[in-house]
């Protein structure tokens, strides 16, 4: 139940925030929230993370990104079935990753690009803009890596450190 609930929560927050941005901003419009550090900026990304493949044209790009998302979601379901009894942290991590992947997949299928709006920067140096789905994926991957690096999966509880 936690896994599915997290997926729905992430997808809802992601899509609701993107809907709000689209309804209240024009493309490329920016609103400083913390001047010199953080703005809400309406952007679209036709590529992958950090704009990878953004300049590529053609329907193959969309097919590629949708295919990668479907493969990733299949792998997430497989890992969930394997690791759900080990620790709730795996369930949380995989739920966040799946929710984020679905949130961005909805944009790709619906719009042909992903809506990004969280803009972190220091002076003139900007981190690539991102969204709630990207954040959920990042946090989920971090939790998953921490669990794999520091906790013993064979312990059954997922709470004992590796030796």
Per-residue pLDDT reduced to its tens digit, 21-71: 999 999 999 999 999 999 999 999 886 655 555 555 666 777 888 888 999
Model confidence at 83: pLDDT above 90: yes
Strand partners, 126: 121
Q: Which two tokens stand for residue 115?
A: 């809506």
**Three-state secondary structure along 95-134?**
HHHHHHHHHHHHHHHHHCCEEEEEEEEECCEECCCECHHH
Record the pTM. 0.86
pLDDT for position 131: 97
Q: Which of 40-49, 105-114, 133-142 has the highest mean pLDDT?
A: 133-142
Q: Which residues are catalytic?
A: 116, 134
């Amino acid at each position: 139940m936690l896994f599915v609930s997290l997926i729905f929560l992430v997808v809802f927050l992601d899509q609701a925030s993107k809907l709000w941005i689209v309804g209240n901003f024009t493309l490329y419009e920016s609103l400083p929230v913390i001047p010199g550090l953080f703005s809400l900026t309406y952007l679209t990304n036709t590529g992958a993370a950090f704009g990878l493949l953004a300049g590529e044209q053609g329907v193959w790009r969309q097919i590629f990104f949708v295919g990668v998302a479907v493969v990733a979601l299949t792998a997430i379901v497989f890992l969930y079935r394997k690791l759900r009894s080990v620790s709730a942290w795996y369930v949380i991590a995989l739920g966040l990753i799946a929710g984020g992947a679905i949130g961005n997949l909805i944009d790709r299928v619906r719009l042909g690009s992903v809506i990004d709006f969280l803009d972190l920067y220091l002076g003139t140096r900007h981190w690539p803009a991102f969204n709630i789905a990207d954040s959920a994926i990042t946090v989920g991957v971090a939790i998953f890596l921490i669990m794999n690096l520091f906790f013993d999966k064979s312990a059954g509880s997922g709470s004992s450190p590796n030796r």
